[in-house]
Chains A and B, each alone.
Chain A
Amino acid sequence: MNFAALTLPCYITVAALLSIGLYGVISKSNLMKIFISLSIMETGVNLLLITIGYIPGGTAPIENANFAKYVDPLPQALVLTAIVIGLSVTALAIAVLISYYQKNGTLEYKEGMKW
């Protein structure tokens, strides 16, 4: 298998995920859909970090005498942190959206909501 050829499709996926996420945030008026789009964007960023740390042919960064080539472990640590942060923001967002729904009876943002 040609490992070097793996990174380009990854970068294309990153670009696609980021664009889909941004497009969703800008074009949707349902608040839940906006936060779903934000999660898609976060996934794109995480994939970008992983791809940057990838070394063609490298294995997981666990010490093992059979393998000499490891991928860069630091971006993986960063992604773990970023996933946790993204999760907590999403959880908080859903909690706030529930109160918003209870107050307004809708998840569409109102026309009175000035940006």
Chain B
Amino acid sequence: MVIHPVLLIAIPLITAFIIPIFKKYGAAIAGGAIAFNMGYAIGIFFHVYSNGKIYETIAGFNPPIGIFLAIDSLSALLALIINLFAFINFVAIGKEANYKFSMLYLLAIAGSTGIVITGDIFNMFVFFEITAVASYALIAGKKDKKALEGAIKYMVLGSIASSFILIGIALIYSQLKTLNIYDIAARIASMDAKIKWASFAMLLTGIGVEAEIFPLNGWVPSAYQGASEGVASLLSFAPSKAAIYAIARLMLVIFPFHATYEIALWVGVITLLIGELAAFMQEDVKRMLAYSSIGQMGMILIAFSLASQDLKYALIASLFLIVSHAASKSSLFLLSKSEKMHGMASKYTGIVSVLSLIGMPPLAGFWGKWYLMLAAMDEKLWLVIILIFFAGIVETAYFARYLHRSIGNDGELSLRYKAAMAAMASFAILFGLLPLVYKIASLPLWGG
């Protein structure tokens, strides 16, 4: 069977623009498209896992002139996570979705998937913009004051970010006359040093806004607080994960220098500390979860920055952290719809997600932190280890308070909601128990 990864982007895009014709069945059509995407992403993942990387050229022009898609095992896993959780999330919120919401949801999924599988840096910019525009509209869709405030903040920062990304791309193009990521990577050494570092700074700043990195994350708490539960859940697993993966690609493929790892490491550490401390001080549940997300993104960035030096543990750590964060945070955001946890499904979701986030064995979050520690010990970064432990303590404190306050017996959620939450949380257990990811990480991940 011939695999066409481009369908992962094309199907949701086409469907999104078909939906306005069949307004009444919008949510059902969108559900079908997302289900197809999920199935296809699973298929591609296992294909890549057993047969190695896939390249697809678009419109018959060969790289480096034509645009092409490059799928290694890491981007296949990211595409799988995005589409899988998109489907489960849509099961929960699909009943309330009108056709406009379904359209924007599909666009956000298409954009995020595009970011992780594209091999062209300008294409990546376009997908960033598709995702960002869809997310602005999704956040603003709730139309109350908080939602509009969050959307406006995100829009202002997102627009500055897109200008910065474009300047970075322009600087690279001015020197190398190419936009292909692997072509840039092969010739990066011939770039003028000043322009090289200027473009790295621009790209990191621009993508860092989407990846929720300190100090570029002013929009995060307001946007998550203002958005409806389903959208907050979407934001926590699709655009942010795609953006952090884009930073990893930037750092490990395009600019593989010692200085970039150092910068990313310390930016990650600061993001982790600020995020966790700010989360500790929040009263609002969604704001707390948003700040906690910032902390987790910092930890994922630390893992990716160590991945260059220490391929044995750090990459596995980042994979486990990404899975754990996607599973636990999106289920907790869905859970935040009701103030209290009630019934088996809600309690199960809340407790499993929290335990995975604070890193209890044998859940996915534990393996993430465990391998991260091992990687940091290999590099003898004792200060980083102490700070990660400290952040873990803060995290445990506020999540314990969260559980203490919210376990109760009032309020009611629909069955679909409960099923989706519980399913998401189960992935934390599943990935904790399966040593699957370990094998994936041992495949060759990078390169042309």
The yes or no answer to B155 lying at the interface (CB within 8 A) is yes
The yes or no answer to A10 lying at the interface (CB within 8 A) is no
A22 to B126, CA, bound (A): 22
- Please classify the interface of chain A as helix (H, G, I), strand (E, B), loop, or mixed, using the class held by over half of its residues: helix
Within 8 A of B (CB), among A39-79: 41-42, 44-45, 48-49, 52, 72, 74-75, 78
User: If the complex has contacts A42-B159, A85-B129, A89-B159, are A75 and B173 also in contact, measured as CB distance less than 8 A?
Assistant: yes
- Residue in B129, B158, B170, B218 whose CB lies within 8 Å of A45: B170
Inter-subunit contact A41/B218 (CB<8 Å): no
* A43 shortest CB reach to chain B, Å: 10
A115 to B166, CA, bound (A): 25
* A47 shortest CB reach to chain B, Å: 10
The yes or no answer to B71 lying at the interface (CB within 8 A) is no
Inter-subunit contact B159/A103 (CB<8 Å): no
A21 to B160, CA, bound (A): 9
The yes or no answer to B140 lying at the interface (CB within 8 A) is yes
In the bound complex, residues from chain A placing their C-beta under 8 Å from that of B132 are 89
Stretch at the interface among B145-153, B309-317, B334-342, B367-375: B145-153
Inter-subunit contact A104/B145 (CB<8 Å): yes
Q: Which of B122, B133, B166, B173 has the most CB of A within 10 A?
A: B166
Inter-subunit contact B163/A41 (CB<8 Å): yes
Inter-subunit contact B151/A96 (CB<8 Å): yes
The yes or no answer to B93 lying at the interface (CB within 8 A) is no
A48 to B113, CA, bound (A): 29
The yes or no answer to B222 lying at the interface (CB within 8 A) is yes
The yes or no answer to A20 lying at the interface (CB within 8 A) is no
The yes or no answer to B137 lying at the interface (CB within 8 A) is yes
How many inter-chain contacts with C-beta < 8 Å in the A-B complex? 91
Encode B119-154 as 1/0 by CB contact (under 8 A) with A.
000100010010011001100100111001101110
Inter-subunit contact B143/A85 (CB<8 Å): no
* B286 shortest CB reach to chain A, Å: 14
A113 to B145, CA, bound (A): 11
The yes or no answer to A30 lying at the interface (CB within 8 A) is no
User: If the complex has contacts A42-B163, A104-B145, A114-B222, are A88 and B133 also in contact, measured as CB distance less than 8 A?
Assistant: yes
A74 to B61, CA, bound (A): 15
- Residue in A38, A96, A109 whose CB lies within 8 Å of B159: A38
In the bound complex, residues from chain A placing their C-beta under 8 Å from that of B163 are 18, 21, 38, 41-42, 44-45
- Residue in A41, A81, A93 whose CB lies within 8 Å of B155: A93
In the bound complex, residues from chain A placing their C-beta under 8 Å from that of B156 are 25, 34-35, 38
* A21 shortest CB reach to chain B, Å: 8
Inter-subunit contact B155/A92 (CB<8 Å): yes
- Residue in B122, B136, B145, B218 whose CB lies within 8 Å of A96: B136
In the bound complex, residues from chain B placing their C-beta under 8 Å from that of A92 are 133, 136-137, 155
In the bound complex, residues from chain B placing their C-beta under 8 Å from that of A18 are 163, 167
Q: Which of A18, A25, A93 has the most CB of B within 10 A?
A: A93
In the bound complex, residues from chain B placing their C-beta under 8 Å from that of A99 are 140, 143, 148
A92 to B137, CA, bound (A): 7
User: If the complex has contacts A78-B122, A89-B129, A103-B145, are A97 and B152 also in contact, measured as CB distance less than 8 A?
Assistant: yes
* A101 shortest CB reach to chain B, Å: 10
- Residue in A38, A44, A88, A103 whose CB lies within 8 Å of B148: A103
Q: CB-nearest residue of chain B relative to A96?
A: B140
In the bound complex, residues from chain A placing their C-beta under 8 Å from that of B143 are 99, 103
In the bound complex, residues from chain A placing their C-beta under 8 Å from that of B167 are 18, 45, 48
In the bound complex, residues from chain A placing their C-beta under 8 Å from that of B173 are 49, 52, 74-75, 78
User: If the complex has contacts A38-B156, A89-B159, A99-B143, are A52 and B170 also in contact, measured as CB distance less than 8 A?
Assistant: yes
In the bound complex, residues from chain B placing their C-beta under 8 Å from that of A21 are 163
Q: Which residues of A contact B (CB under 8 A)?
A: 18, 21-22, 25, 31, 34-35, 38, 41-42, 44-45, 48-49, 52, 72, 74-75, 78, 81-82, 85, 88-89, 92-93, 96-97, 99-100, 103-104, 109, 113-115
What are 16 inter-chain pairs, A to B, with CB distance below 8 A? A31-B152, A35-B156, A44-B163, A52-B170, A78-B122, A85-B129, A89-B133, A89-B155, A93-B155, A96-B136, A99-B148, A100-B148, A103-B144, A113-B153, A115-B153, A115-B218
Closest 10 CB pairs of A and B: A52-B174, A38-B159, A85-B129, A100-B148, A115-B218, A45-B166, A96-B140, A41-B163, A45-B163, A49-B170
